[in-house]
Structure 1
Amino acid sequence: MNIGDKVRLLHGNEEGIITKISGSGRIEIEIEDGFKIPAMKNEVVLVNASEKQYFNREEKTVQTGQSLAPVKESKADDNIYLSYVSINDKDLSVYLVNHTDKDYLFMASEMQGESSRTLSSGNFTAKTSIKIDEKAIPQFEKWPTLFVQFIPINRRMEKMEPAFEKKIKFKASSFFKSQHETPLINKKGYLFSLLDQTKTLDIHQLNKELNEEKEASPVSQQFTRPPKEIDLHIEKLSDEHEFMSNTEMLRLQMETFEKNLNYAIATGMDEITFIHGLGNGVLRKEIHKYLSQLENIKYFQDTQKSRFGYGATLVRIN
């Protein structure tokens, strides 16, 4: 077994990617919801690629940190790609691939807290690739956040395109199932689309929204009654979850939970159900801890697992 292998627990339904292996026979597995669970090597079995194909479970998309970014296997789109190409069974070369007709100025850096290190920068010519770094698979969990910035270059008078940037922090469950042919390099690599998933910042719209929030008073604010069932699975809440850390995902899930619970209380709802899944139980524990501190909650309980197919909590409101 190696880091990056997909495995299934022998005494459970969980599947995940091996992210850490210790000499004592213990491993760490990152399951689909982003949480990590410990296990022994003799407690798991490798998931064979032929098994996935037989049951039609092969993934057809590349999961990036901001959304699911489809990568066509027949012909690559005009796009900018990030690709990790194998040097050997332990090391990867990191490439940026400009599969567009436009030139860019670029900078690629690694970030740790408030510090950064520039890996590469300069002109990024159309239809070229640039090697920016090398990475060791056994050190996957320690890879710093990758920060890339691109400024389009107009060689003639034409419509201006916005500059864009992206911070990238991978999860093993998405990284190791993203292998595709890398455009221009023509080698298999862990391939991620950058350009079509980029979001630019509309300063005027942001200022307008901030001013509207500032002008609105608490008395005049209208609360919208939420649905009776709120799905807190991270893929339902954000298109950017693949690059989010476990802490960031949990924070977003709890913010969504708290907001909808407050709205349910403010609009006079009798009950509301939060679907949080099973996973390793971290989100469920945080929700139950929060609810136990509120005075206007009659009770809360695990509810109807057979109906939802995964964990949920019913909240009865005073």
Structure 2
Amino acid sequence: MNIGDRVRLLRSTEEGIVRKISSSGRIEVEIEDGFTIPALKSEAVVIHSAEEAYFGKKEEGIEEEKIPLPISKPKDQGLYLAFIPINDQNISLYLINDSRDGYLVQCTEVFGTNHRTLFADKLLSGESKKFDDRILKQLDEWPAFLLRFFPIQTQLGPEKKPFERKLKIKASQFFKHLGEAPLLGKRGYLFHLEQTTQDLDVQKLNLELENIKPKPITEPIKKPAQRIDLHIEELVQDPTGMSNSEILRIQLETFEKNLNQAIASGMHEITFVHGIGNGVLRKEIQKQLSELRNIQYFKDTQKDKWGYGATLVRIS
């Protein structure tokens, strides 16, 4: 397999041209509309070497007809999570309400037992709202999305129940959802949110919230170390076989725990060593820091020792 070969991905029906081959066995394949998707070299087969011997080459000037994938849509519902490409590297996330009803919507991303709210607002009938941007090549590292919908009933009638949907996007299925996004009029990857939905038990949810009580502090809060190393080798005994998302979850949990302890114990500053890598951990840490009121400032630090692979946090 070489750069420029036309290949088919074994786990899906996508075909494209190999644009990059790395020494780790990963490739980047350019599919239709100029989008590039990552894959393992072992998951792709060169088309011309296997098929032309049996079927011959296609006649020049005759293009294979491309039939867009159908998107099922119930009569009265049309709620979508849409991923609209900005270019071949970046993608925007939208919530689309092409139904007759309005909703209060909450969308969170889920890292194991940790949640972070990305969107919480009204989504009225005929509205679409952008709420985030992502890097397409990091698709395998995206956390799961949890979406909760509470119907807005402006007229007296039978109760419409809230419901929720949890999605974990997988590359092998993601690119099969290509179609035109309702209301936006743009090509993208669409996930219909009424299929296999689960009713949301509001009474149970309220009961869980009532039962959540702060644990009494029985002993003084222990100050964390002045420097916290977040490299996974320092946090677990054997990281072999761990996925990138699991590693990121453990690193963020360690960061949050030590930052909370630093704030509660009255420390003035603390340094988190996250390394350079692909920048995902640094970005997540600094995003969380930017949302906290009791942080005076934070900055990249100690280039000579960690090559700007550390963040100094000044606590106000």
> Into which bin does the TM-score normalised by the smaller protein fall?
0.3 to 0.5
Higher relative contact order (CA 8 A, sep 6+): 1
Relative to the length of structure 2, the TM-score reads: 0.46
Relative to the length of structure 1, the TM-score reads: 0.46
